[in-house]
Structure 1
Amino acid sequence: MSTTTTESRKLYFRLLRYVRPYLAAFIISIIFMVLLGLSDAAVPALLKPLFDGGFIEKDLDSLQQTLVLLVLLFLIRGISHVVSTGTMGWVSGKIVLDIRKQMFAHLLDMPTRYYDTNATGNTLSKITFNVNQVTQAATRTLTILIRDTVTALGLLAVALYLNWQLTIAILVAFPPVVIVAQLFARRMRSFSHAHQDKTGDMTHVLEESMRGHKVVKVFGGKKYENKRFFNVANKVRQFQQKVLLAGAANVAVVELITSVVLCSIVYIGTLQAIDQGQTAGHLISFFAALGLMISPIKRLASAMQPLQRGLAAAESIFKLIDEEREKDNGTQALARSEGVLALENVSFSYSSDKAPALHQISFTAAAGETIALVGQSGSGKSTIASLLPRFYDPTSGHIFLDGHDLRDLRLADLRKQISYVSQDVVLFNDTIRANISYGSDTQADEAQIIAAAKAAHAWEFIQEMPQQLNTLVGENGIQLSGGQRQRIAIARALLKNAPLLILDEATSALDSRSESLVQEAIENLRHGRTTIIIAHRLSTVENADRILVLDQGHLVEQGSHTELLALDGRYAALYGNLQ
């Protein structure tokens, strides 16, 4: 057995595991598929009594009985078709839902490094496009395989009964058909992989162009984006065409082999019937069985196309599902932290081929203390902020919260202790109420939400909106100004009431009026919390208890604003450049 066949079998059986919760409906569907296949095979069996008894022997009773049986046969066919199609469609829809649910849940558990190295569009394509391809393999193709295999075997049984010598000769056609199908299957799997990858690339280009539409317009990038999209969309078309041609060629070759064999059998069978004096009904019934066998064999051959597309999609989906989850090996619980934070000789590198982003960083933040991280871009400020919620783990060294190594804490417990407000505020396309109370373990009541909004200086503009807290903010808060989005994010952090606060450039992109309001909101937010502030505007960190100056991943100075100015070192130079 070839490696490709073995892998395909493993993939298919893994797909069929998703059928288990719906096994009853699946079995019902298979039963009616078998009935449908047998009803197809029963048609030529009824042709012999119809022609011999009704037309040749003029037996009206035989004719009436055969016609009644034909009507009943087509009634059974109709019922079987409706039930098998309906139940298999229901199972297929459930499988799509379950796979997408599993993929989405897995994505939420993926480490940050996954998002650093994988294009969003390609991941979206797997969930939207590839899953539908998989269900073709798991359900629709299975329908063809069961129904048409039963039909072909039933017709073969009828043909064996009528003329076993010639029927055995037909079996000579099967080995070439199987060999051809396997050859084309490999080609279709390869083309299907490429087609799905290029579809992911196309989704990525779409997502980038839509997200950056303002930059595209201002910088005259329409021609470039049109060309970029055309190139990738054309690649999708080309590989789709290759899949279709490979599938069509497969069917054509199988049909040719089958037709040559059947035509030879028809000729030999006619000569045999003349010599042996067989009845017309016998001959018509035998030839009908052979002729009707072509369609199911053709469909079985064409089933390779969606099967290989589905299996190729399944490989990409299971590759995503099998990606290693975010490591959560901690066992210690932490209900409410005091906010004592300590870094001991922390070093970190984003990858082995890049220079370290942090070198032997050590500092301690007491409960309720405000620590500001300042320095040029690339100095390691945001890297420290990313290590605290364990988006990444230090390459070496340790980070402690209340004396607990962060890696010993359960991730959920650790992240309960942290609120995060960044320059790039993330708001969801939902109401202001939902965005402020987002992720709350307990359902916040309206009084708590309003109190948080007031403390964040957001209530004043929320009241002016037509639906107030029930106002939809649009995609990523597009209906709000930058300052309003920041204040919603601060209200969210206030409502969470976590003991450790991270502010990453929270005021860097605001006008003076918005900055003033946001700064007041931040002062309310900082009260009673250990706060890590990252800022380019040094004027926003003058009141910090301690300022840490970073340079290319090294901690070069620390102290209060006054102490650092008196040192006349790196901080004083940075501060002087901004005056």
Structure 2
Amino acid sequence: MSDGAASPWALYRRLLGLTGPYRGVLLLALVGLLLEGAAAGAFGLLTKPMVDETFVAKNPEFGLLLPLAIVGIFVVRGIAGYITDLYMAKAARGVARDMRVNAMDKYLRLPGLRLDAEPVPSMLVRLGSDSDQVAQAVVDSAKIMLQQSLQVIAMLAVMLYASWRVTLAVLLLGPAIAWMMDKVGRRYRRFGHRVQETSAQMMLAADQALSNQQEVKVYGARAAELERYTALANHNLKLSLKVEATRSIASAVVQLTGAIGLALLLFFAGREALEGRLTAGGFVQLMMSMLAIIPALRQLTNVQGALQRGIASAERLFHVLDADDEIDAGTRPLARARGLIEFRDVRLSYPDQPRPALAGISFTARPGTVTAIVGRSGSGKSTLVKLIPRFYEPDSGKILLDGHPLDDYPLADLRRQLAMVGQQVMLFDGTVAANVAYGELRDAHPDGVARALRDANAMEFVAQLPEGAQAQIGVKGGKLSGGQRQRLAIARAMLKDAPILILDEATAALDNASERLVQDALAQLIPDRTTLVIAHRLSTVEHADQILVLDDGRLVERGTHAELLARGGVYAQLHAAQFREQGA
């Protein structure tokens, strides 16, 4: 959803729809708001007898009744305010929680290309501050608007009761106030949206610099990264100051308008008093009501900031929530695949890229065999294997599993047939056992987890941990070495026991000792599966049943290690280059 694609009111109506599950608590909050407004009006009505009966007529009957009535009114108002604040907060925080959960769920259902197009820090902004801003817009701002609007209505009713002529004269300022609040709202929305965007850009810049702080230091890029971040921070500051300037100017104009209203009230009230239609108590009633309306109008203007920031955040969140899910229309059930994979003239292009990432790819990977995929960096190796779990969808051609197109199967059934071990292992802050028995494996028996750890050569280091398989491994497995993390990933794949195994440069970043342990573990995992191996080190795929050589997204050679060396083509050149590097 682009900026301007929907009106603010249309967006706000959609936001109000999010409060559906909280109608009960919002109804209680509304009762509290009405009681608050009624209490404000009751106090306003008491100001006339306070002056006329106590100070003018000196009526002793009101000496005790009025103070008791005032205390009673403020007790009611205090209880009503507590009810309003409590239940509005429940609704607001609930909406924020729902938006976060819905956005997280949506991100996990988006197609691979859509996920690749948005950096993770931007996603975190939407899940974090954007969700809070939406809650403030849909509930917190609504509370202030209703609260202050009811205050204005109650005080206007009191003013009309005191003197309808004076009140109508003062109401001539109404159109000017409405016009000004509309202008303020538009300006808030424009700058609020840009503030949120620059906040996401700042988080992205910080994430890049801090995640790669070693390279930043080694290449002397601290000044450049700081300059980039400072420029974004300055731009964010400039936009934020424009928002604050808008709020301040609007507030000042409201106060000026209120002063003009008071002047009009004094002028016309004086004329009414001369005509004998307004008592001293009536004048005080009018004045007190007007003085109560001015701060209410000021708050109504100030709340535009939170409201418009929330609407800008809502646009960003709805842009995600309205995106199309992964296509999952398959109806052919799949309990356990044999593992026969066929690519037939498959082509894939990335958006805004002049050349296809893959073009004319055709091959067959049979059950119980190892298919290695090699090629220079950027040749399309990782793209090819991402087509099998349908992270990406091909532009043309067919990919078949056991003789049927992949999209014939439900996504969950298809992905249940796959285990993946990559160079970057996905571990989370939890125990060793919980990281091995991950996702659908979480109910696995402890004996099965222990067997997978042994087969993956992981038990030799797990047994040395203070709590064994129940030991905490830190955020992203930070307490483990690279080889240890890889062996946990292999243990996870062993526990899943899927018929298709994808290894994406699983040993590329390891030292020789760790690589040998991981290779031994992989040797336990590979038999009786369809295995696809992306390899940078060609020495690791010499015994593959077939080797596919990619170059610029095309399959240029296919054969065994010996056949490809004898052919003297691209594979032989890559092999010779690596042999020279290792010899050097």
> TM bucket by the smaller chain?
over 0.9
Cross-structure match for 1:193 = 193
Give the C-alpha shift of residue 417 in structure 1: 0.5
How big is each residue's C-alpha offset from its partner over 1:467-488, in whole Å with a ceiling of 9 and x where there is no partner?
Answer: 2212222222221111111111
Secondary structure, aligned partner of 1:536: coil
Cross-structure match for 1:163 = 163
- Identify if the C-alpha distance between structure 1 residues 278 and 181 changes in structure 2 by more than 3 Å, giving closer, same or farther: closer
Q: Are 2:41 and 1:36 aligned? A: no
- The residue type paired with residue 100 of structure 1 is R
Give the C-alpha shift of residue 535 in structure 1: 0.7
Distance 1:491 1:277 in 2: 91
Q: Where in structure 2 are the equivalents of 1:506-545 lying within 5 Å?
A: 506-545=506-545
Secondary structure, aligned partner of 1:344: strand
Distance 2:442 2:125 in 1: 34
Q: Are 2:309 and 1:309 aligned? A: yes
Q: Are 2:398 and 1:411 aligned? A: no
8 A contact 2:441–2:495 mirrored in 1: no
- The residue type paired with residue 134 of structure 1 is V
Cross-structure match for 2:241 = 241
Q: Where in structure 2 are the equivalents of 1:500-579 lying within 5 Å?
A: 500-579=500-579
Q: 160-169 or 34-43: which moved more?
A: 34-43
Distance 1:552 1:532 in 2: 19
Q: Are 2:215 and 1:176 aligned? A: no
- The residue type paired with residue 300 of structure 1 is L
Q: Where in structure 2 are the equivalents of 1:228-377 lying within 5 Å?
A: 228-276=228-276, 278-351=278-351, 353-377=353-377
8 A contact 1:53–1:63 mirrored in 2: no
Q: 554-563 or 26-35: which moved more?
A: 554-563
Give the C-alpha shift of residue 5 in structure 1: 12
Q: Are 2:382 and 1:382 aligned? A: yes
- Identify if the C-alpha distance between structure 1 residues 106 and 440 changes in structure 2 by more than 3 Å, giving closer, same or farther: same
Unaligned 5+ segments in structure 1 are: none
Distance 2:455 2:77 in 1: 70
How big is each residue's C-alpha offset from its partner over 1:100-137, in whole Å with a ceiling of 9 and x where there is no partner?
Answer: 00000001111111222212212211111111111221
How big is each residue's C-alpha offset from its partner over 1:506-540, in whole Å with a ceiling of 9 and x where there is no partner?
Answer: 11221111111111111111011100011121111
- The residue type paired with residue 353 of structure 1 is Q
Distance 2:130 2:442 in 1: 37
How big is each residue's C-alpha offset from its partner over 1:278-323, in whole Å with a ceiling of 9 and x where there is no partner?
Answer: 4322221222222222121222222222111111111111111111
Distance 2:4 2:47 in 1: 43
- The residue type paired with residue 172 of structure 2 is V
Give the C-alpha shift of residue 6 in structure 1: 7.4
- Identify if the C-alpha distance between structure 1 residues 4 and 166 changes in structure 2 by more than 3 Å, giving closer, same or farther: farther
Give the C-alpha shift of residue 362 in structure 1: 1.0
- Identify if the C-alpha distance between structure 1 residues 363 and 97 changes in structure 2 by more than 3 Å, giving closer, same or farther: same
Q: Percent identity?
A: 38
Give the C-alpha shift of residue 566 in structure 1: 2.8
- Identify if the C-alpha distance between structure 1 residues 5 and 137 changes in structure 2 by more than 3 Å, giving closer, same or farther: farther
Give the C-alpha shift of residue 429 in structure 1: 2.1
TM-score normalised to structure 1 length:
0.96
Cross-structure match for 1:392 = 392
Distance 1:418 1:21 in 2: 38
Distance 1:198 1:419 in 2: 39
Unaligned 5+ segments in structure 2 are: 580-584
How much is the aligned-residue C-alpha RMSD, in angstroms?
1.7
Q: Structure 1 stretches (4+) deviating beyond 4 angstroms?
A: 3-6
Cross-structure match for 2:221 = 221
8 A contact 1:41–1:152 mirrored in 2: no
Count of aligned pairs: 577
Cross-structure match for 2:582 = none
8 A contact 1:370–1:544 mirrored in 2: yes
Give the C-alpha shift of residue 441 in structure 1: 4.4
Q: 412-421 or 541-550: which moved more?
A: 541-550
Q: Are 2:495 and 1:480 aligned? A: no
Distance 1:478 1:250 in 2: 51
Give the C-alpha shift of residue 391 in structure 1: 0.9
How big is each residue's C-alpha offset from its partner over 1:518-569, in whole Å with a ceiling of 9 and x where there is no partner?
Answer: 1111111101110001112111111111112222222222222222233333
- Identify if the C-alpha distance between structure 1 residues 277 and 427 changes in structure 2 by more than 3 Å, giving closer, same or farther: closer
Give the C-alpha shift of residue 247 in structure 1: 1.3
Q: 468-477 or 490-499: which moved more?
A: 468-477
8 A contact 1:50–1:63 mirrored in 2: no
